[in-house]
Amino acid sequence: PAAVIVAIDGPAGTGKSSTSKAVAAKLGLGYLDTGAQYRAITWWMLNNGIDVDDAIAVADAAAKPVIVSGTDPAAPTITVDGLDAAGPIRTQEVTAAVSAVSAVPEVRALITDLQRSIAAEAPEGIVVEGRDIGITVLPDADLKIFLTASPEARAARRSGELKGKEAQATDLAATREALIKRDAADSGRKTSPLAKADDAVEVDTTELTLEQVIECVVTLIEGAG
């Protein structure tokens, strides 16, 4: 059978990563976290003293870092110039800067090319999650899903993740404000904003458990194949 390409988009905190990883593992597909790639280039910019609000400086430097993503859903990896970036790309500093960097057209062009070549090389197929996968990166995907959830549910999930991962004091209200701000920036940018493709299936995860969302997406993929 031909490789199956699945695009999963939506704002932060809707369960994209957990769902995509689990679905890919269940169906023997590859997995690509495109947000991690934008975080990785942002981390490199911060480390190299580039002002992330200077779009020209970001564009000039965009081709310098070498970003490599591993697509095994059981153990996804990301490196920048050979350095493990999985931990450092999740800091609040990177999270606060990533929307500015990812809005720069030169950054998007480079990362989009990288994403397309990774998807083309996945032998069994791949689940690709992000913001613009269904519309821009892989418009011919076999299945497009758009995940949504209420701002309260998204903030609660994200705040739970942060507490588990790092001993950062995270206040729910502050998490909610930061999420809303980031989504507004991602939805409002000129190049490839966060948006639902016309042919995407929208799944509201507010009242669903992770297991229910996984089951729903698996059923949709089996139906699409």
Interface ranges with ligand C5P (CB under 6 A): 12, 34-35, 38-39, 98-99, 102, 130-133, 182, 186
Q: Toward ligand C5P, which CB reaches closer, 39 or 144? A: 39
Shortest distance, position 133 Cβ to ligand C5P, whole Å: 6
Shortest distance, position 158 Cβ to ligand C5P, whole Å: 9
Residue 11, annotated ligand binder? yes
Residue 164, annotated ligand binder? no
Shortest distance, position 24 Cβ to ligand C5P, whole Å: 16
Q: Cα separation of 215 and 87, whole Å?
A: 29
Residue 150, annotated ligand binder? no
Q: Cα separation of 138 and 197, whole Å?
A: 11
CB atoms within 10 A of CB 125: 22
Query: What torsion, rounded to 10 degrees, do the Cα atoms 80, 178, 155, 175 define?
Result: 90
Shortest distance, position 106 Cβ to ligand C5P, whole Å: 13
Q: Are 12 and 187 in contact (CB under 8 A)?
A: no
Residue 163, annotated ligand binder? no
Residue 21, annotated ligand binder? no
Q: Toward ligand C5P, which CB reaches closer, 31 or 38? A: 38
Residue 204: both structure tokens together: 């509201």
Shortest distance, position 104 Cβ to ligand C5P, whole Å: 10
Residue 151, annotated ligand binder? no
Angle ∠(56,59,61) on CA atoms, nearest 5? 110
Q: Cα separation of 195 and 217, whole Å?
A: 19
CB-count burial class (<10 Å; 0-12, 13-18, 19+) for 102: buried
Q: Toward ligand C5P, which CB reaches closer, 4 or 128? A: 128
Q: Toward ligand C5P, which CB reaches closer, 177 or 222? A: 177
- Nearest C-alpha neighbor of 95 from the set 23, 161, 144, 147: 161
Place of tokens 């990533």: 98
Q: Toward ligand C5P, which CB reaches closer, 118 or 133? A: 133
